[in-house]
Every structure is written in structure tokens, then in C-alpha cells.
Amino acid sequence: MNKDVLSKRLQFIADEVQEGAVLADVGTDHGYLPVYLCSQGKIKKAIAGDVNEGPLEAAKNQIETSSCAGFVIPRLGSGLSVIKKEDNVDTIVIAGMGGSLISAILEEGKEKLPGVKRLILQPNIHALYVREWLLKEGWEIKKEHILEEDNRIYEIIVAECGEWEKPYQDINKEAALLLGPFLLKERNDAFIKKWSRELNNWRRVLRELEKASDENRITARKEEVERKIKLTEEVLS
């Protein structure tokens, strides 16, 4: 990857950033995404934030060797703390983390969200937690993508403030939160592959739980796994 070519995953994310956006890339790592978008002339400005100094230094190098100095601003900090009111950020990307961490970042930085028009979120695992947070906080999922790259499967969720219940109308809400309201309708090859893997894993977990001796302690976990198996089997059948 470089300022001219992104990975497949990051290209999907870049395509969801709207023309003229003011971007905050939280957990920017090497800064590939904001530098690419700046080099393409797609964004007005970007904050490239990271909690770790090493990746941020790499991002600074990317910025300095591109034509984006002054347009992509590197900042060291945790989560949305890198965003200042005067930045007028309208688009936030949080990618490459677990769903629970993404949800925690959004929850802890809620005071930074007024004025933000679009969230582009790419949880590596547990996208359920992200969807639950968006629903609770009044963000409507507008699009979802699922793709495979280098034998890994990624989900991308695009949300805006709006009719947060709309994506869950006329479908099984519990299944939609787990699998994705748009993704379960599309059911592309990456979706089938991901949830077939998950289904096999949950079946293995259930077999192990059924061998356990402490019935009281594992009952709730068994019920949770059984429910996920049932929901997924219904969608894949």
C-alpha cells in the first residue's frame, strides 16, 4: 500500500468517504487512508489519530513524503480525543479493531459526535456490538459491505443519524443485529463463508459446553450459543 494504492479493505472504506469531507481517521496506523484520500483530492482535511507513537510516526512520514502536509494532521491520542471542535469533522472512520473497542471509543467520545454526519466502522470481530451501539444511540445503518482479502473476512458498516430502526423493519431483528441487516439480505460468498465458519465454531463450542460438569455456570452460555446457531442456520438454509 501507498498514497496511490490501498488494500481492498481500505479501498472499500475510502469509497464510502464523501467528496469534500472533513475526516477523522481514528487508529490511523500508517496513515494510508487519509493520505490516499488527500492525494485524490476527495477530502478537505483529515485528522490522523493514533494512541501509539510508532504508528503515528509512520503516518507522519507518509504525510511528509506526499503533498498532504497541512491537510492531513497527525495527532497522538486515544479514540475521539484527537478531534477538536474547531476541526469541524463530519466523517469518522474507525477500522481494524474489535467491535467492543469500537463501541467503547464511540461511547467514551460521544460529546465529539454532534456535527458528525457519517460513521464508517470496520470491526475485525464482534460487529454485533457496533450495531447494538448504533441502534441505541440513534444512528441508522445506511450500507454494509463484507469482503474477503488475504483469507480474512471484513465487515464495514456505514451509518448516519436518521431512522435507526429502519434497517430492521420486516426482518428478524436479532438475526440482523448479529449478521447485518443488509448483509443477510445480500448473502454474498464472503458472508456465506464467514458464517459457515462461525456456525462450525459454535457447534464445537456447544459440544464442549455439553461435556462440562458445572451445569449452573454454563447454562446461560449454552443458551447464547444455541440461539446463535439457530439464527445462523435459519439464514444459511
Mean pLDDT of the chain: 94
Cα 51 from Cα 96, distance rounded (Å): 14
- Identity (one letter) of the amino acid at 42? K
Output the pTM of the full model.
Answer: 0.95
| Secondary structure tally for the chain: helices H, strands E | 9, 7
Interval 58-103: pLDDT, tens: 999 999 999 899 999 999 999 999 999 999 999 999 999 999 999 9
Q: CA nearest 64: which of 54, 74, 77?
A: 74
pLDDT score recorded for residue 217: 72
Confidence band of 220 (pLDDT split at 50, 70, 90): confident
- Identity (one letter) of the amino acid at 90? D
Q: In sequence order, what are the residues at sequence separation of 6 or more whose Cβ sits closer than 8 angstroms to the Cβ of residue 114?
A: none
- Identity (one letter) of the amino acid at 46? A
